[in-house]
Structure 1
Amino acid sequence: MKTVTGPRGWLAQLRRQWLLHRLTDPAYAFVLEPPPPDEWVALDCETTGLNVRSDEIIAIGAVRIVGNRILTSERLELLVRPDKSVPADSVRIHRLRSTDVAQGLPIEEALGQLLRFIGSRPLVGYYLEFDVAMLNRALWPLLGMGLPQPAIEVSAMYYEHKFRQLPPYQQHANADIDLRFATLMDDLGLPRREAHDALNDAVMAALAFVKLRQLHGAG
């Protein structure tokens, strides 16, 4: 591994050593390696509800991004078997019933597959904080930590993109910018897939990420 010099390099090395010390299973040390350049993983989860403390993950979708390419051939699509039944309110959103996920993977096996798919790549998603919080709760017994990869929020990228387009007198902290996923996709001229499907949502987040990077680079 190439040695990184300078204050940031030393801080990164110190952080990695500290996290390695915390890691409960050395088999997953690869998540702490330097990420491949210009690679990311777009991620989305479907859950039994919105309570991070008590609800469960029932589907995981992820796709790799390399440069400006979304590698849909390198994707991950998993159903996860929950301990409890899927509430009707949740089924109406993502259309996954208890019978649909009854043969899903145990959460520990699903997380192992997800970690191997992500590696050390930074994560991309739309309102990713919730998905990461759900994953982290399940990951602590496995890793002794949450996901260590950087997380890139697509809605924040879009907000910055739209904020830069506002006239100076409207550029203030409470600028009214519509961050709904459908609005974001339509405004960027991107195709929409059926929402509330983990893989579809991950692919749409990846599309938005790539487009916003291109727009930012052009600006």
Structure 2
Amino acid sequence: MFNQIKNYFNKKNLKDEKYSYLFDKANDDEFVCFDCETTGLDPKVDDIISIGAVIIKNNTIISSKKFVRFVKPKTKLQIEAIKVHHIREMDLEEAEDIDNVIEEFLDFIGNRKLVGYYLEFDIAMINKYIKPKLGIYLPNKNYEVSAIYYDYKIEKIPQANIDLRFDTIMRDLQIPTMGKHDAYNDAVMTALIFVKLTNFPKVKIR
């Protein structure tokens, strides 16, 4: 009920009716798993430099329907961020403008439910661009895989100390890593975590 009320007022702030589809009721069996690489870890000052996303439908990752875009940032890449994603400023010389990428991203996700790891951060980064542009925050329902994993583990081992690091979750679920760390590969690996977890009998998402 709270989310319905929040989305009602959110929609009233929509500046462009072209994007009203974001508020449509989502299909139960469709999700988009996405990941952002950024110049740093502060959504208020840092910028997106790449977005990777993939569609999940009927428990299947549709690899033919993927979204991969690189963005030219307005802020300087931080050294610590480069150590993680290995993207340098010279790699982004031919990258796209964020306004175009955000429009394409919204068209890609539509009204689908969103999946991610550390998803709150990624959504905050997307909201940084769509709030001034459209007047709204991203309204799509979302699922954090580390929270689903936590619920799954605590049900099996009550009072356990659950390690929620990405690599630990991958190893525990026996999902092979894809090697190169980038937004698209991270989105696919996160999608694999989501699909495997949601196929366990006792794991329910709403």
Match of 2:189 in 1: 204
The residue that corresponds to 1:43 in the other structure is 34
The answer to whether the 8 A contact 2:25-2:111 is kept is: yes
Map of 2:24 onto structure 1: 33
Question: Where do residues 153-172 of structure 1 align in structure 2 (5 Å cutoff)?
Answer: 153-166=144-157, 171-172=158-159
Is residue 178 of structure 2 the alignment partner of residue 193 of structure 1?
yes
Task: For residue 28 of structure 2, give the secondary structure of its aligned residue in structure 1.
Answer: coil
Within the alignment, does 1:178 sit opposite 2:169 as a pair? no
Q: CA deviation at 1:20?
A: 3.1
TM-score scaled by length of structure 1: 0.87
In structure 2, what residue type is equivalent to 1:213?
T
- Tell me how far 1:196 sits from its aligned partner: 3.4
Instruction: Write the distance in 2 (CA, Å) between the matches of 1:153 and 1:106.
Output: 28
Asked if 1:133 is matched to 2:118, the reply is no
Partner residue in 2 for 1:104? 95
Any conservation in 1 of the 2:11–2:136 contact (CA below 8 Å)?
Answer: no
Quick check: 1:46–1:196 contact (8 Å CA) kept in 2?
no
> Which whole-Å CA distance do the structure 2 matches of 1:183 and 1:85 have between them?
31
Q: Give unmatched runs, 5+ long, in structure 2.
A: none
Partner Cα distance (1:185, 1:205) in 2: 9
- Contact kept, 8 Å, 1:63 with 1:203, in 2: the verdict is yes
* Stretches of structure 1 lacking an aligned partner (at least 5 in a row): 1-7
The whole-number CA distance in structure 1 between the counterparts of 2:12 and 2:136 is 11
Count of aligned pairs between the two proteins: 203
Larger radius of gyration between Structure 1 and Structure 2: 1
Percent same amino acid at aligned positions?
A: 41
Q: 1:15 to 1:133 in 2, by over 3 A?
A: closer
Computed over aligned residues only, the root mean square deviation of the Cα atoms, in angstroms, reads 1.8
Q: What secondary structure is seen at the aligned counterpart in 1 of 2:199?
A: helix
Contact 2:53 2:184 in 1 (8 A): yes
2: CA distance, partners of 1:59 / 1:185? 23
Contact 2:197 2:203 in 1 (8 A): no
Counterpart of 1:146 in structure 2 is: 137
Whichever residue aligns with residue 47 of structure 2, its letter is E
Of 36, 58, 61, the residue aligned with 1:67 is 58
Counterpart position of 1:123: 114
